[in-house]
Chain A
Amino acid sequence: MSVKQISVFVENKQGALLDITTRLSQHQINIRAVSLADTTRFGIFRLIVDKPDECEKALREEGFTVSITNVLVVKLQDRPGGLSEAVKILSEHGINIDYLYAFITHAINDTCVIVRVGDIEFAEKVLMDNGFTLFSDEDILKI
């Protein structure tokens, strides 16, 4: 029940991101969520898209340094503290979060959080056991 995420290396210079998004629209790839971590010199652009395999192939062919990894997309409980509940459960089970970022889907009006952890299968089980809903690649396609 994980989702494929694309990571792209970007230089910190004008037009680097635009370059990527332009390629994606040329390939009719829709972006669902993005996150950009950067320093003054370079960054890593992370994307959840409707067609991850095609996206990875297209970017690689265009000469970008790309990787594809599995992340968890967790639907948060619709109440205050929803995010901290998810984080707390993971931490109680000794699961380290490498990074996370959120997105809101207009289609289903939910807040989701994308979580990257070391042991993804264990994290998945822990979250499901505690009543969280996880998205699959197919769910992403439907958004």
Chain B
Amino acid sequence: MFWQKDAETMNRAKIKEVQLERLKWTVSRCYNNVPYYKEMMDKAGVTPEKIKTLDDVRRLPLTTKDVLRQNYPFKLFASPKEDVVEIHASSGTTGKPVVGGYTKNDLDLWGHCMARLVVAAGARQDDIAQISFGYGLFTGAFGLHYGLQKVGCMIVPISSGNSEKQIMLMEDFGVTVLIATPSYAVYLSELAKDLGVAGNLKLRLGLFGSEVCTPEMRKQIENNIGIIVTDNYGLTELGGCGVSGECEERDGLHINEDHFLAEIIDPDTGEVLPEGESGELVITPLSKEAFPIFRYRTKDISRLSTEPCRCGRTLIRMDKVVGRTDDMLIIKGVNVFPSQIESVIFTMPHIGPHYQLVLRKERFMDCLEVQVELIDGTLLEKYGELEALENRIKDKLRIVLGIDCGVTLVAPRTITRFEGKAKRIVDLRKA
């Protein structure tokens, strides 16, 4: 099933034609309405007229998150303020947030992009959809809300928190679709199991987003409450969720290509990489009125594929994002992301959610040690049980990361709590 079948099944040549036309429109809008972009393009020696083919997008400079912070709050808007009808912002933990604005047309388009994704994932008009994302500046809850509303689902806008009530409403209303962050969904699924009501729930589909959903988390949720879990992708900087999402084949996320142009670059050199290579995802939204932006560096690592999909969509697919460029570690030649380690720790009983990674070189070999806090006293009776716990964590990490690492249990509250992920890593290899 499709939401906008024509747009979702265009042939590749037609897609490129639409993209080029809209790219020209977006670049002109940036150049003519936003002083910052005019200055940057003049510096790079590009004017809108120079964009003649899709590859000419490479003439444009890349845009980073810092640019958005420097132009806080509204300096990158390309529409007069009176035309902006809604604002969303990132949950940035440090400094000023990233602010995005929407005109009426932007909101309508956002709703259609989301409607495509939820239909592709399997949501239908007769579904009852519980939105357990926090409503507010965050784009997730509203984006899904607008999309599901277009489809005509019965929306339960409960927002996040009050978990027992979440479960109660799910049971009483017969909720069929759950919208949540993967970690909250894991928590809710455990709670439903503990309350003994997992069997009464009618849930069949989970639309998750806003954080990395690892295959392990997906499996755990699917096992606990027997639902199909799908992922969707977006960023506040790109107008929120609605950039891409999984279809029922769940083999990559279809990008709404008529509204978003995707490139993969080498994060170190900025060079565009050929299709099929893994690198940093760069996105140019093609239809934004209030908040256009070009070549935004997402810092997310992914890969693109135009291979035809069994669902019938011709839209390009991106790999599920497993990590970010600034978090990526290379250990024994293998790419490792803290999010993968997090997903393991997160699903293990007896230990807390905080961790520290210590990297060392021992006899010219990289060694990764994962420190986790033992928070549950029930294993203290038998010494061997603590060692068995360490081994269980080690085994799971080996499966997920593909490398061996050490695990150390430490006392609770001894791992320093940081806001960002980067500081959870102590790299002693260069020392």
* A interface residues with partner B (beta carbon < 8 Å): 7-11, 16, 37, 39, 41-42, 44, 63-67, 69, 98-99, 116
Contact = CB atoms under 8 A, between A and B. Distances in A.
A65 B377 CA distance: 5
B136 interface: no
Given A9-B374, A11-B414, A65-B375, A42 B380 contact: no
B383 A65 contact: no
A10 B374 CA distance: 10
Interface residues of B, number: 18
A65 B408 contact: no
B377 A66 contact: yes
A63 B383 contact: no
B374 A65 contact: yes
Nearest to B408: A41
Given A42-B386, A44-B386, A67 B412 contact: no
B378 interface: yes
B164 interface: no
Closest 8 pairs (CB-CB, A-B): A67-B377, A7-B380, A63-B413, A67-B380, A65-B374, A66-B377, A65-B377, A63-B412
A69 B382 CA distance: 12
B413 A9 contact: no
A9 B381 contact: no
B328 interface: no
Interface in B383-431: 383, 386-387, 408-414
Contact of A64 (B378, B386, B387, B412): B412
29 contacts: A8-B380, A9-B374, A9-B377, A9-B386, A9-B409, A9-B411, A10-B411, A11-B410, A11-B411, A11-B414, A16-B411, A37-B383, A41-B409, A42-B408, A44-B380, A44-B386, A63-B411, A63-B413, A64-B412, A65-B374, A65-B375, A65-B376, A65-B380, A66-B377, A66-B380, A67-B381, A98-B381, A99-B383, A116-B381
Contact of B383 (A10, A16, A44, A64): A44
A9 B380 contact: yes
A3 B261 CA distance: 70
A66 B382 CA distance: 13
B409 A69 contact: no
Contacts of A10: 411
Given A64-B411, A65-B375, A65-B376, 20 more contacts: A7-B377, A7-B381, A8-B380, A9-B380, A9-B386, A9-B411, A10-B411, A11-B409, A11-B410, A16-B411, A37-B383, A41-B408, A44-B380, A63-B412, A64-B412, A65-B380, A66-B380, A67-B377, A67-B381, A98-B381
Nearest to B382: A98
Given A9-B377, A66-B377, A42 B409 contact: yes
B386 A65 contact: no
A16 B374 CA distance: 15
B407 to A, nearest CB: 10
A8 B380 CA distance: 7
A42 B378 CA distance: 16
A65 B382 contact: no
Contacts of A37: 383
For A9, A16, A42, A66, the residue with the greatest tally of chain B CB atoms inside 10 Å of its CB is A9
A44 to B, nearest CB: 5
B294 to A, nearest CB: 50
A65 B376 CA distance: 6
A42 B411 CA distance: 9
Nearest to B378: A67
Nearest to A41: B408
Contacts of A65: 374-377, 380, 411-412
Nearest to B381: A69
A39 B414 CA distance: 19
A103 to B, nearest CB: 19
Contacts of A9: 374, 377, 380, 386, 409, 411
Nearest to B350: A65
Contacts of B374: 9, 65
Q: Considering residues A7, A16, A41, which has the most beta carbons from chain B within 10 angstroms of its beta carbon? A: A41
Nearest to B375: A65
A64 B410 CA distance: 10
B412 to A, nearest CB: 5
Contacts of B378: 67
A37 B408 CA distance: 17
A81 B375 CA distance: 41
A7 B386 CA distance: 13
B189 to A, nearest CB: 26
Interface string B319-344: 00000000000000000000000000
Chain A CB within 10 A, most for which of B375, B377, B383, B408? B377
Nearest to A44: B380
A69 B378 CA distance: 10
Contacts of A11: 409-411, 414
Contacts of B386: 9, 42, 44
A7 B382 CA distance: 10
Scoring B387, B411, B412 by chain A CB atoms within 10 A of each residue's CB, the highest score goes to: B411
Interface in B11-63: none
Contacts of B380: 7-9, 44, 65-67
Contacts of B410: 11, 42
